[in-house]
Amino acid sequence: MGIDFQTGRKPATNLVYSSFLGMLYVSTPENEAAVAEAKSLVGDAEVKKGYTPKGGATQKARAFLTERGVMPARISGKLAHAEFRKTEKDGRTYQYVSACLRDSDGLYCLSLPAETEAAQILTRKLANAKFGVEYVMAAYPMMQKSENPAYADREFPKHIVSLKEKLGPKHDDVGPELIGVSPAPIQAMADEAVAKLKETGMDDPDMVFATRKKMAMRFHLALWEDIDAEVAKYKATRGSDEASSGAAPEPAPAMSSFDDEPF
């Protein structure tokens, strides 16, 4: 390496998941410039539509990025750090879920906006994960038919974060998908909160939607109490060289490519 760090620690690398591109990529100034150019190529209106498979704007943008050397990535290494964090910018508060894997070359961190489905999937998996174990982490869209009768014939992307234990050196030497904590209790929590809301005469659809999102966030925040405890336990047993340097690099709000889509 051409740079010597006095701390003896290698810098962390941020990765970004773009819901429009449907891919995980390494965040560098050069890559971010290429992504911005790709989005400009297809136009803001197309970007805001989100992921479009099979010949849509997403595929056009990804083809452009391939020519620029920006490729879909996945990361592997020991699960070394995870956290729920808040950051301020321009008077606004942003909440993120971060998870970091470490290998011999450094630390690799994925940060996702905490209210997104992908971040909540990751949170539930982290609650069942074991720190210090080697995993392979990936993120991608999965097309699913709408559960809304009004859109019965349409498919929408569900953004997934995959976490599989790494079993060997080969690309496919991985275990089965890590099963996260069941989200089933969220429905009962949300139904109870909405029922109380309607008892007060407030049944505005937007307010009901916001209440359900609030209950989902409350459920996942409770999981972070256990995850934080596991992180602290891991750091205490492994020492500073292995774990305490595992704090994720600060994600700028602009990194949240989920801002491509309205949530």
Same domain, yes or no: 166 and 227? yes
Find, among 13, 229, 47, the residue nearest to 127 by Cα.
229
Same domain, yes or no: 154 and 41? yes
Same domain, yes or no: 142 and 166? yes
Same domain, yes or no: 119 and 206? no
The model scores a pTM over 0.75: yes
Q: What is the arithmetic mean of pLDDT over 236-241?
A: 70
In a domain, 2, yes or no: no
3-state secondary structure of 147: coil
DSSP codes, 42-100:
H-HHHHHT----SSSHHHHHHHHHHHTT-----EEEEEEEEEEEEEEETTEEEEEEEEE
Q: What is the arithmetic mean of pLDDT over 238-258?
A: 53
In a domain, 4, yes or no: no
Same domain, yes or no: 57 and 74? yes
Same domain, yes or no: 114 and 133? yes
In 10 A of CB 155, how many CB atoms?
Answer: 12
Q: Number of structural domains, the chain?
A: 2
In a domain, 6, yes or no: no
In a domain, 91, yes or no: yes
Same domain, yes or no: 19 and 128? yes
55-95: pLDDT as tens digits: 899 999 999 999 999 999 999 999 999 999 998 888 899 99
In a domain, 246, yes or no: yes
Select, from the ranges 2-11, 128-137, 143-152, the one with the highest average predicted confidence (pLDDT): 128-137
Same domain, yes or no: 40 and 148? yes
Give the residue numbers spanning the domain of 169. Answer: 12-182+218-260
